[in-house]
């Protein structure tokens, strides 16, 4: 069973806040994400600063300021080859976004495609074959589509990122299936306002292109994408280069 260690190095969110976030993610992973995607639920644990993290644990780090231009969060691999995600609380708050949405966005994408190497082949009805990366939160990432997880502890619920379901990538999926967790998506492959994806049309010869939905309710889309440019170091940038050129995290 996968262990995901959530740590806090931010100066503007407290350890108790991050601990509650970890608890909400455990509830949501076991109840929502993992059953929908038919994967084993991870054990999600908050580790206080200075605690020893298991060597084989995946990681999610809550930090202050983004270390990549325009990125509210991203995920990559540690020096030992395990998934690690980052969410930047101070950058999020300055953007008017919720850091818990960014952090859970990265968590879902770690679980959906831990090694950042899976693409989905989509056969359109007109005979066109399209490839899209298996990114489960990008299409629905704006805060307005997130949902609340109640920990029943008398405190405020925790806002968690929406994510798409397997039916989202299936052109002929029956309408009885939900395409995303909060059921805002009306049809397969739809990008909600603020959402985006990479797309490769096999017959075009043009390579990967970025597809962006309409303007989001916050500046999240503008910041993450740098307008229409693909941010160096982002998941979208990694999708377009060989593994040998990836930057690994300095963290073990």
Per-residue pLDDT of 55-113, as tens digits, reads 999 999 999 998 765 578 888 899 889 999 999 999 999 989 999 999 999 999 999 99
Q: Report the C-alpha gap between 37 and 187 in whole angstroms.
A: 18
Q: Provide the sign of the torsion angle of the four alpha carbons 58, 66, 113, 43, taken in this order.
A: positive
The region, left, alpha or beta by phi > 0 then psi within -120 to 50, assigned to residue 241 is beta
For residue 145, being part of any structural domain is answered with yes
Among 140, 74, 77, 80, CA closest to 107: 74
213 in Cβ contact with 193 (< 8 Å):
yes
* CA gap 124, 132 in Å, rounded: 13
Q: Is residue 251 situated within a structural domain?
A: no
3-state secondary structure of 173: coil
Beta bridge partners of 142: none
Q: Where in the sequence is the domain holding 220, given as residue range(s)?
A: 3-245
Query: With 70 as the cut, is the pLDDT of residue 231 above it?
Result: no
Longest dimension (CA), the chain: 56
Using CA atoms, how far residue 245 sits from 54, 137, 189, 234, 237, in Å, is 27, 25, 29, 13, 11
The length of the chain, given as a count of residues: 252
- Strand-pair category, 119-123 with 129-133: antiparallel
Tokens of 187: 């049809």
pLDDT tens figures, 116-168? 999 999 999 999 999 999 999 999 999 999 999 999 999 999 999 999 999 99
Q: Answer whether residue 135 is part of any domain.
A: yes
Give pLDDT, residue 53.
94
Name residue 197's beta-bridge partners.
211
CA distance linking residue 144 with residue 161, whole number of Å: 9
**Which residues are paired to 148 by β-bridges?**
159
Which residue do the tokens 């049309």 mark?
201
Query: For 190-224, what is each residue's pLDDT tens digit?
Result: 999 989 999 999 888 888 998 988 654 443 433 33
In the block, residue with structure tokens 């397997």:
166
Please check whether residue 250 lies inside any domain of the structure.
no
Q: How many domains does the chain have?
A: 1
Inside any domain, residue 51: yes
Residue 214: per-residue pLDDT = 64
Q: What is the pLDDT of residue 52?
A: 93
């Amino acid at each position: 069973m996968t262990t995901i260690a959530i740590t806090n190095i931010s100066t503007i969110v407290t350890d108790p806040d991050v601990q509650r976030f970890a608890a909400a993610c455990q509830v949501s992973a076991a109840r929502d994400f993992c059953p929908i995607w038919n994967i084993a639920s991870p054990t999600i644990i908050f580790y206080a600063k200075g605690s020893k993290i298991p060597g084989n644990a995946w990681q999610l780090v809550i930090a202050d300021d983004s270390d990549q231009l325009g990125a509210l969060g991203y995920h990559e691999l540690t020096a030992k080859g395990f998934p690690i995600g980052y969410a930047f609380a101070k950058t999020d708050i300055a953007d008017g976004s919720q850091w818990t949405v960014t952090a859970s966005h990265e968590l879902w994408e770690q679980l959906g495609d831990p090694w950042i190497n899976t693409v989905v082949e989509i056969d359109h009805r007109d005979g066109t074959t399209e490839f899209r990366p298996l990114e489960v939160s990008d299409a629905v990432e704006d805060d307005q589509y997130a949902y609340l997880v109640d920990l029943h502890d008398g405190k405020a619920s925790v806002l968690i990122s929406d994510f798409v379901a397997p039916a989202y990538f299936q052109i002929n999926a029956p309408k009885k299936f939900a395409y995303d967790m909060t059921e805002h998506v009306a049809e397969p492959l739809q990008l909600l306002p603020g959402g985006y994806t990479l797309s490769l049309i096999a017959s075009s010869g043009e390579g990967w292109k970025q597809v962006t939905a309409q303007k989001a309710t916050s500046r999240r889309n503008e910041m993450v994408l740098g307008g229409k440019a693909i941010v160096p170091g982002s998941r979208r940038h990694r999708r377009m280069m060989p593994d040998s050129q990836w930057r690994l995290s300095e963290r073990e």
